[in-house]
Amino acid sequence: MLNDQKVISLASEYLPFINIPEELLAYLGHMEKKLSGIDILVYLYYWRKWRYKDFKVVISNQDLADQLGVHVSSVKRANEKLVEAGLIRRKLQKRRSKSDNAENLPSITLPAVPRELVEHFKSSPMRKPYRDPATLREIKSFAELLQIAESNDANDGDGSALKPEDIKQIIAKLFANKEINVDYYDKEALFNQVAWSIYDGQLSAPEFAPDKKRLSIAVKLIKNGEWEKPKKFPVKYIPKGYPTNPAPKDPSKEINF
């Protein structure tokens, strides 16, 4: 029978793991205002949900408390302490109810990096090699990697540079390279859904900017088989500026999902 170390070794290589920078873990233990065990448990929940599926976490304090088996007041205190520590960002959501009153929704929660850790990140060794796709130059430090990311963000401006044709090409490449389940996804429907999500839907939220990041999030979800038809997606949606008379499709090949 396999021993514990062998099982852990295999699991760490082939099963999903939470990748948290060591600097963040060290920071949790050296904070001036110490976090409790429940605070850290809440933080790890947010990180896991953001890292592996949702790319943003939307859950009520009560639901999170139920999942973790703690009191809701403990979750509220944990959120306050994590925000104060700069470890998470929370964005309030509101919508209009049928009686036209403002109705609060669960906040959007995202992991954050305390400002004082940025310099530590820059001087840390790289976990794996990276080659800049634009110049093919090997990047040997995280500081260089940050510079490239900042430059890309600046080039993307306000996040509206991505054209429908760019999305169309990426979707077509996924199908051509058989990187997705072609029996489950329909190319044209998938293109329209991704375009709508980026321009008008869930991925249009500011925290997903720039557009390259929005598209990369969509592509990752598609590759993992986790992309679903967006909520409130208009049935006859066609991206702005895109031809309004696409080639007719064979209804017998239409895939509804």
Say if residues 62 and 126 touch (Cβ distance below 8 Å): no
- Residues 191 and 246: their CA atoms lie apart, in Å, by 12
The pLDDT of residue 176 is above 80: yes
The pLDDT of residue 87 is above 90: yes
What is the pLDDT at residue 3? 86
Give the CA count within 13 Å in the CB-facing half-sphere of 66.
5
Say if residues 85 and 33 touch (Cβ distance below 8 Å): yes
In this structure, which long-range contacts are made by residues 24-27, counting pairs with CB atoms below 8 Å and at least 24 apart in sequence?
24/87, 24/113, 24/117, 27/114, 27/117
Tokens 């066609």 appear where? 238
What is the pLDDT at residue 181? 79
Say if residues 204 and 197 touch (Cβ distance below 8 Å): yes
Tokens 């990748």 appear where? 19
β-pairing verdict for 102-111 and 88-96 = antiparallel
- pLDDT-based confidence at residue 52 (cuts at 50, 70, 90): low
For 88-182, list the strands marked E by DSSP.
88-96, 102-111, 130-131, 138-139
What are the two backbone dihedrals, phi and then psi, of residue 231, each rounded to the nearest 5 degrees?
-65, 145
- pLDDT-based confidence at residue 255 (cuts at 50, 70, 90): very low
Size of the chain, expressed as the number of residues it contains: 257
Residue with more model confidence, 89 or 129: 89
CA triple 75-79-85, angle to 5 deg: 140
Residue of 106, 72, 76 lying closest to 91 (CA atoms): 106
The most confident of the ranges 57-71, 145-159, 208-222, 240-254 is 57-71
Render pLDDT for 127-156 as a digit per residue (tens, 0 to 9).
Answer: 888 888 777 889 988 888 888 877 766 665
Q: List all residues 6 or more positions away from 56 whose beta carbon is below 8 Å from its beta carbon.
A: 50, 108, 109, 110, 205, 207, 208
The pLDDT of residue 48 is above 80: yes
Residue with more model confidence, 53 or 177: 177
Torsion of CA 215, 218, 222, 225, to 10 degrees: 160
Q: Which whole number is the average pLDDT over 210-214?
A: 82
Tokens 């592996």 appear where? 52
For residue 110, the cross-strand partners are: 89
